[in-house]
Amino acid sequence: MTDQLVIALLFLVNLRMFATSRLDSLIRGVALQAFLLVCLAVVSREGALSWEGWTFLSVTGLVKCAVLPVMMTRALRSAGIRREVEPLVGYRVSLFIGLIVTGFSIWAAAQLPMPDGAADPLVVAAALISMITGLFLIVARRKAISQAIGYLAMENGVYVLAPALAVHGPLIVETGVLLDVFVGVFIMGVIILHIRQEFKHIDIDRLSELRD
């Protein structure tokens, strides 16, 4: 029951991320997405969770819902931009694409041969849609920061895919993955700052001096 609720929320959040133009709401969206995904991870393995599992999940939640968003917001401030004007793909179209993609991911999740003990296909679908959202943001948005957000969203999706498919990676690996993501986003932020200093803007499509 709860998980269905979470999934529904998740779909909504993702659609919102497809459609929104304000970068701060995008960040909030990704934070919320992360939170919901963690919740999904919790509910998808019914309570069979050791204490280090709990700690790990809480750490993850902390990093993904609090630390990274905060970092992003600060990068956003220093970059001094609020919203994504004229994206490569307009917002209505994006929303439309979002709907299509949602449908596709639900269908795809239904197609997959599930191992026993796997969660509800909808969970998988939720993971997929989050990933696709991330990819879409990277492809269809101009600002470097929204691409970073996209990367984060994608990571969220990938991250929850494992528990959804009843795959329990060893803790150390999970930690390493989390660390990587953290450092990755951190460095992205740093580079965004440098780009900001160098170019006075962070429009990726104007960032195409290197070409053949």
167 binds another protein (CB under 8 A): yes
Least gap, CB of 144 to another protein (angstroms): 7
- Let me know: does 125 contact 148? Beta carbons within 8 Å: no
49 binds another protein (CB under 8 A): no
Question: Residue 91 class from Cβ within 10 Å (0-12 exposed, 13-18 middle, 19+ buried)?
Answer: middle
165 binds another protein (CB under 8 A): yes
86 binds another protein (CB under 8 A): no
Coil, strand, or helix at residue 22?
strand
Binding residue (CB under 8 A) for another protein from 141, 145, 149, 201: 141
- Let me know: does 54 contact 13? Beta carbons within 8 Å: no
Q: How many CB atoms lie within 10 A of CB 203?
A: 15
Smaller CB separation from another protein, 67 or 166: 166
Closest of 3, 28, 4, 7 to residue 17, by C-alpha: 28
169 binds another protein (CB under 8 A): yes
66 binds another protein (CB under 8 A): no
Least gap, CB of 1 to another protein (angstroms): 26
Smaller CB separation from another protein, 1 or 50: 50
Which structure tokens are listed for 13? 């959040």
State the helix-helix crossing angle for 121-140 and 144-164, rounded to 10 degrees. Answer: 160
34 binds another protein (CB under 8 A): no
Site for another protein in 90-129 (CB under 8 A): 113, 115-118
Coil, strand, or helix at residue 210?
coil
Residue that is written with structure tokens 């949602």 in the block: 102
Residues that bind another protein (CB under 8 A): 88, 113, 115-118, 131, 135, 138-141, 144, 147-148, 151, 154-155, 158, 161-162, 165-167, 169-170, 172-173, 176-177, 179-180, 183-184, 187-188, 191-192, 194-195, 198-199, 204-205, 207-212
